[in-house]
Chains A and B, each alone.
Chain A
Amino acid sequence: MTNSWTDIKNTDLVVIMGGNAAEAHPCGFKWVVEAKAHRGAKLIVVDPRFTRSASVSDLYAPIRQGTDIAFLLGVINHCIANDKVQWDYVKAYTNATYIVKEGFSYKDGLFAGYDEAKRDYNRSSWDYDMTAEGFAATDPSLQNPRCVWNLLKAHVATYTPEMVERICGTPKDKFLKVCQWIGETSAKNKVMTSMYALGWTQHSKGSQNIRAMAMLQLILGNIGVRGGGMNALRGHSNIQGLTDLGLMSNLLPGYLTLPVEREADLNTYMSTRGFKPLQPNQMSYWQNYKKFFVSFQKSMWGAAATKDNDFAYDYLPKLDVPSYDVLRAFELMHQGKMNGYVCQGFNPLLSAPNRKKLTAALSNLKFLITMDPLDTETARFWDNHGKYNEVDPTKIQTEVIQLPSTCFAEDEGSLTNSGRWLQWHWPGGDAPGEAKADTWIMAQVYLRLKALYEKEGGAFADPIVKLHWPYKEAGDPKPDELAREINGYVVEDVPDPNDSTKKILEKGKQVVSFAVLRDDGSTACGCWIYSGCFNEAGNNMARRDNTDPDETGAFLKWAFSWPVNRRILYNRASADLEGKAWDPTRKLIEWDGTKWAGYDVPDILPTAKPDVVMPFIMNPEGVSRLFTRGLMRDGPFPAHYEPFESPVVNPVAPKIRGNPVARVFKGDMEQFGDSKEFPYAATSYRLTEHFHFWTKHVWVNAVMQPEFFVEVSEQLAKEKGIRSGGWVRVWSKRGSVQAKAVVTKRIVPLTCDGKTVHIVGIPLHWGFMGAARKGFGPNSLTPFVGDANIETPEYKAFLVDIEPIPEPVA
């Protein structure tokens, strides 16, 4: 989230699209209700299903899953055509005026530079014209036909209300009403918030779904303001934290990146990470990259990371592919190229796509290690559970080691919520049996591995034996010790250059924030964006003062929000070029003639003059991007692509199947079905009574929603002879499931490109372990393909067939 849950009360219009907060985030959704009750805010819900969020909305518009980009570009087209633009914001705070290089183009669904064989683009033309001084060329008059604004205008012109209806199945009158309400928030005193979740991410173009809304929010001037923003609701309680801390193939903590093979040394690595400002006087904050990187290396390898060895640069692995994400991992396992896998609190047998492939892949492993408080399906993938897990254990040669871990109620530490709040929690009970904290387990594994390397030697032992491990009890690092490391500390005294009797930084002290980190090895910091969470003032994540001056929703003294306790990202953009709030009733920070101050921690150097330094300090431009240069693989603007399995041919680019640059492994393309064989558009979703595959272990939740079902419209039920409560078989090219049918008015058939499209809803909470009845999940059916930029699997749009069946014999 750019903003926070409690900030939603400040909005005038909530758009829930790509999520279902009322059911999936109920206690956060109360802030939508608060805005409706106290501000008279309106709620728009755009979803293929009439969800509980939709049931309390002021305006509901149905949409076919996988067509959000067409819808959003249609809204942008409407706003541009009808002058619903926050012009002062767009001209000053976005790259609308920037001039794009000759050579960049878009035609028939493809941008310039496409290579069909590689399924990739040469993105060199997706960039700005540069001036002789080395800055990006602009045209403040917006007359140049190659400025971003004019290119955008031409790009979205295709998405007329008629075209939106044809692609999305959204009736034109409903779509236009949505446009009208959204367009009204271009006024300086009106604000809209976007709330989305996995309904947007789980597509082969998920990142571009989100970009499309971010662009719309920028055009309306709704980013950086109270009640506005792009608010990813997110899934699990600490998925934000795990991502912030870089537990992904290609990341280091704090969104630094792992080296790739062509970056043989630190200088080469840094050469593409200089982030030279693209306009004069801009902060381009990533210029500090090296300070964060070197401080991270110091936290990893302490004294072994020296200037002479490039701060242990070679201790980091270098990537030969963009990432070894979970899809690639299972692909490699399937090919027999992996031997071991460790699953820590993760149940991929139910949460990764194409279950048949997953079972085959896990069966190829030599060993599987799981750490979990619960007995998961993954740990028991070899265990025969009849049709729910049809395997022959004697044929599976994988050794499985199942390690019991504590749960939230028995452990201590911080979780980062979707609003970027790091909240510390305390244990209230003891774990059952011999279950142990994950920190203990990881330390025990590490110490044993280290001892083996010290005793026997082996492949490149240095990074293991020299890992900085400063904990009082080496076998049991305490949460506060780890939190202090994440915050960062001073390794060597740093003398004051003006007065040698004084020190700027004192050895052994916690750093106050990332602002003091250095690239000479004198500071260490585990995750720069979290710096400030546990400094000399103490554990700021443990703060529990819920005062909120003037009730802005900021709660600055409650826990700690990254970065530097800032509650609303880009908050400098809440004020105009003179530093005054666009809307005085939503004042956030203002310029008092010498500095920025207000209700939040300023997202700008406090002394940066408002007409000189622009608000988007992480970008070398200083402004936000409507045109994202070559930073995304599938285009500098979003474009509509159908899901890989779609009931209709792409009306704007008929020759293109799916996202043209999404990675598809050999053999998986052949496993995509077409609409002749599989005529129905399926989607997956969560229920309010369950949390993923977790609460089926919880008696109360298992009682509330005991059994797997699929949801179909009355029309489809009639066509296929399906009875409510009767049994059906649902199958895709990859698998088949049996379920009870729920015949509902919540789903209605849509008309897309002249064709009736029936939607089948498949909730995801069942498996073969736990207290609920045994059942299946959508991943028995879903395709093995992910988003082109970040490989989130396409769970929300795929094709199935359905038929009624007699009740299965128990």
Chain B
Amino acid sequence: MNIELSRRRFLQSAGAGVVGTSLGAFGFGDVESAYAEMIRPFKLAGTKETRNTCPYCSVACGVILYSQGDRSKGDKAKIVHIEGDPDHPTNRGTLCPKGAALLDFVQAETRLQYPMIRKPGSSKFERVSWDQALDRVAKLLKEDRDKNFIAKNGDGVTVNRWTTTGFLAASATTNETAFATYKVVRSAGMVVFDNQARV
């Protein structure tokens, strides 16, 4: 449900129409076209608008992402502007000092780009491929689970739990991520499992 009609584009074309009509009516047609050529295209005019919600607090203000490049056509898209969604019933277009600066989060210098591994005792991260990182993760998890899985307790009751590796889930990921995470974590028998609700 992306916004089909760009509000900015709509306003821009409506504005140009007014200019055209008034100048044209006074017989200044050439002036009008020269004038129009002089105007730099409005930066947001060519952008795609996408509805999203602010990731910070749980008010969940509606935001509109403006990007160059259309993901629906398979292009890479770059977000160039973010503003409040005026149609959202809670925030009605407003944003707080955090939400208003969201673009700088998306483009933060400390955004991570590649999987990294820090070896024991090392003082640096080293870049690895996803395959290397994920294979290593699976191997570490399996080794620990196989070694420490508790199938039965002292009384012989089946308990099937794994307590030596834990999982701390986030609080700003989607419900869908949360459910996928739940399935993977719980099916492994993990009980050291928590999220950020407490802090």
Contacts and interface: CB of A to CB of B under 8 A. Distances in A.
Contact of B134 (A340, A426, A448): A448
How many of chain A's residues touch chain B, expressed as a range?
35 or more
A408 B53 contact: yes
Interface stretch (A247-255, A273-281, A673-681): A247-255
B195 to A, nearest CB: 4
Contacts of A453: 142
B57 A793 contact: no
A367 interface: yes
A458 interface: yes
Nearest to A701: B101
Interface of B: 1-2, 48, 50-62, 65-67, 69, 71, 76-79, 82, 84, 87-92, 94-102, 104-106, 108-123, 125, 130, 133-142, 144-146, 148-149, 151, 153, 155, 157-199
A579 interface: no
Contact of B58 (A234, A408, A546): A234
A432 B106 CA distance: 9
A448 B134 CA distance: 8
B185 to A, nearest CB: 8
B138 A383 contact: no
A415 B188 contact: no
A608 B136 CA distance: 57
Given A338-B164, A445-B141, A241 B178 contact: yes
B199 A770 contact: no
B98 A689 contact: yes
A242 B196 contact: yes
Contacts of B166: 324, 329, 338, 340-342
Contacts of A242: 169-171, 173, 178, 195-197
Interface string A296-328: 000011000000000000111111100011101
Contact of A769 (B89, B110, B160, B172): B110
26 contacts: A24-B57, A26-B97, A27-B84, A30-B92, A235-B196, A235-B199, A243-B195, A248-B193, A317-B160, A382-B123, A394-B123, A399-B117, A401-B118, A407-B106, A408-B52, A413-B177, A414-B176, A426-B2, A428-B50, A428-B71, A429-B67, A432-B113, A445-B141, A458-B145, A463-B188, A770-B110
Contacts of A183: none
Main SS of the interface on chain B? mixed
A442 B165 contact: no
B120 A398 contact: yes
B115 A27 contact: no
Nearest to A26: B96
A398 B82 CA distance: 39
B101 to A, nearest CB: 4
* 9 shortest interchain CB distances as A-B pairs: A433-B113, A345-B170, A413-B174, A428-B65, A404-B112, A417-B60, A340-B165, A448-B138, A317-B161
A430 B76 contact: yes
Contact of B160 (A318, A325, A413, A700): A318
Contact of A415 (B139, B146, B174): B174
B162 A413 contact: no
A409 B119 contact: no
Interface string A382-418: 1110000000011111111111110111111111111
Contacts of B58: 25, 233-240, 417-418
A785 to B, nearest CB: 12
Contacts of B161: 317-320
A317 B146 contact: no
A591 B29 CA distance: 68
A793 B165 contact: no
B142 A430 contact: no
A28 B90 contact: yes
Contacts of A31: 90
Nearest to B148: A339
A430 B191 CA distance: 34
B98 A690 contact: yes
A695 to B, nearest CB: 6
Contact of A695 (B98, B168, B195): B98
Interface string A668-704: 0000000000000000000011110011011111001
A142 interface: no
Nearest to A422: B175
A164 to B, nearest CB: 29
B137 A369 contact: yes
B87 to A, nearest CB: 6
A482 B151 CA distance: 30
Contact of B182 (A246, A418, A790): A246
A407 to B, nearest CB: 6
B59 A417 contact: yes
Contact of A320 (B108, B134, B159, B170): B159
B96 A446 contact: no
B174 A238 contact: yes
Contact of A375 (B66, B112, B134, B176): B112
Contact of A434 (B115, B123, B191): B115
B135 to A, nearest CB: 6
Contacts of B84: 27
A544 interface: yes
A353 to B, nearest CB: 9
A293 interface: no
B141 A449 contact: yes
B155 to A, nearest CB: 8
Given A238-B171, A793-B199, 11 more contacts: A235-B196, A242-B169, A332-B163, A341-B166, A366-B144, A402-B116, A404-B115, A412-B174, A459-B149, A701-B104, A771-B108
A131 to B, nearest CB: 37
A425 interface: yes
Contacts of B62: 423
A247 B169 contact: yes
A402 B160 contact: no
Contact of A393 (B1, B121, B183, B189): B121
A434 B174 contact: no
B110 to A, nearest CB: 4
A429 B109 CA distance: 17
A324 B167 CA distance: 10
Contacts of B1: 424, 426, 542, 544
A687 B24 CA distance: 54
Contact of A445 (B50, B65, B89, B134): B134
Contacts of B146: 458-459
A611 to B, nearest CB: 35
Contacts of A235: 57-58, 171, 196, 199
Contacts of B188: 449, 463-464
Among B57, B92, B105, which residue has the most Cβ atoms of chain A within 10 A?
Answer: B57
Contact of B163 (A324, A460, A468): A324
B58 to A, nearest CB: 4
B160 A248 contact: no
Given A243-B197, A429-B77, A544 B87 contact: yes
Contacts of B99: 27
Nearest to B77: A429
Nearest to A318: B159
B196 A346 contact: yes
A565 to B, nearest CB: 14
Interface string A520-538: 0000001100100000000
